[in-house]
A and B are shown apart, each in its own frame.
Chain A
């Protein structure tokens, strides 16, 4: 059994928060560069160039790429042979988010009660997903999720008979209704299968996959390609101001489901597709 101090979790999460917000991942930058080369709209091309410039400035000056530094979504995989000592596990994660947002000069975008709407002032609480996995390591990923694109996400139960065509229609419909509001070029995380709760979690996990990496199942990989093409045929383009680069990638995750059901969820990730992982 390995012992990990709760303070280590706090320090790691704090660092992940600001690093994710300052430095856009290389796969996203590569996606911008590819899009910039192929973009047909002059407005769209100009926007992509400016996003690349913005990412560069943010990196050089250690500043957030986007002012909406999001609600922190934390994914933790805890090895079953790890014991966390010296503090409560969840508290240590929340303390990490609190410290990271304060010391990183990130925006505090969380209200404590969804109806009373008073800002908590420290961007907590974060949303924490914990999974117990084999091994003696801890893997933590922070995804600072902006509000604009999250708001445009959607979930639906299709009839099982609607099948793959139904899935395509729903994804496309969600993207069209989001249009420029979701801050394209976007990454479209899709979940298919599972239950009501599982399918949205699949869509969210899909967003974490590196751009350019397909699902291992050939029929899902093919669906990813078809959807990417169809989404880029909508004409929505960068910022919704027209163009051929609406999505950078369409990662899909699937799970088994009930004989009555075909749940689908679409989690839209704006161009500030930030994520940062550490293995402890």
Chain B
């Protein structure tokens, strides 16, 4: 059995031994976190950190965000309380008999960017998606002390095994886009945008642009074409 205590609580960096290559593969801290994640813990997470997340998260994507942000604009309550929660941008395949959930992995986070500031302002503390996001998301993470995680897009068979329970909690009519409550166990994430407004995508791509194997360095701005 794994220890699900919030390892960040003491403020000390706790490494998980033996799993260093699992997602980040770089010499960065790895944390095992249990939801809800406190604002203090969010502040301690830095880009490139690996997080194995356990507990409750909520799945919502394009159509559900459109509806929710309209409700927020009209100062109406959301169909489910997402304050302090983490939203996973995704829509699963239907489960085969005996499966908890069908294959699932994050969708492109960028499409949820227009909604993200309103959701973070409302009280969502973290989001999970794939791919780079606009500056307004970085600014929102900084402003509201929130975070944007990356999970691997298309890693759907593997990630579905980390989901232990699932329930549609709103917008059933949206089919794969309905809001679902998930119980996850050790769901592998990378911190892509932290509460300081740092950007993992930008940082890492710069290292490999026009990469020179001999020097192990990139050279930004030396395009041949």
A233 CB-CB contact with B under 8 Å: yes
Say whether B150 contacts A105, CB under 8 Å.
no
Say whether A234 contacts B209, CB under 8 Å.
yes
A100 CB-CB contact with B under 8 Å: no
A139 CB-CB contact with B under 8 Å: no
CB distance from B48 to the nearest CB of A (A): 8
Contacting residue for B175 out of A49, A108, A235, CB 8 A: A108
Q: Which of B5-13, B29-37, B70-78, B153-161 contacts A (4 or more CB under 8 A)?
A: B153-161
B208 CB-CB contact with A under 8 Å: yes
How large, as a class, is the contact surface on chain B? 35 or more
Within 228-245 of A, Cβ neighbours of B (below 8 Å) are at 230, 233-237, 239-244
Chain A residues near B220 (CB, 8 Å)?
Answer: 235
State in angstroms the CA–CA spacing of A40 and B208 once bound together: 8
- Closest B residue to A152 by beta carbon equals B108
B118 CB-CB contact with A under 8 Å: no
Chain B residues near A168 (CB, 8 Å)?
Answer: 225
A265 CB-CB contact with B under 8 Å: no
Contacting residue for B157 out of A57, A235, A243, CB 8 A: A57
Contacting residue for B156 out of A54, A182, A234, CB 8 A: A54
State in angstroms the CA–CA spacing of A58 and B160 once bound together: 11
State in angstroms the CA–CA spacing of A178 and B103 once bound together: 24
How many residues in A have their beta carbons less than 8 Å from beta carbons of B?
Answer: 60
Contacting residue for A270 out of B26, B154, B176, CB 8 A: B154
State in angstroms the CA–CA spacing of A117 and B174 once bound together: 10
Within 96-117 of A, Cβ neighbours of B (below 8 Å) are at 105-109, 117
State in angstroms the CA–CA spacing of A46 and B150 once bound together: 14
B54 CB-CB contact with A under 8 Å: no
Within 134-176 of A, Cβ neighbours of B (below 8 Å) are at 146-148, 151, 165, 168-169, 172
* Minimum-distance CB pairs A-B, first 7: A242-B204, A46-B25, A235-B209, A235-B208, A180-B131, A181-B131, A66-B154
A-B contact pairs, 18 of them (CB 8 A): A43-B190, A46-B25, A51-B152, A57-B157, A64-B102, A64-B103, A66-B105, A117-B63, A119-B175, A119-B177, A151-B108, A180-B201, A182-B131, A234-B205, A235-B211, A237-B204, A240-B205, A242-B203
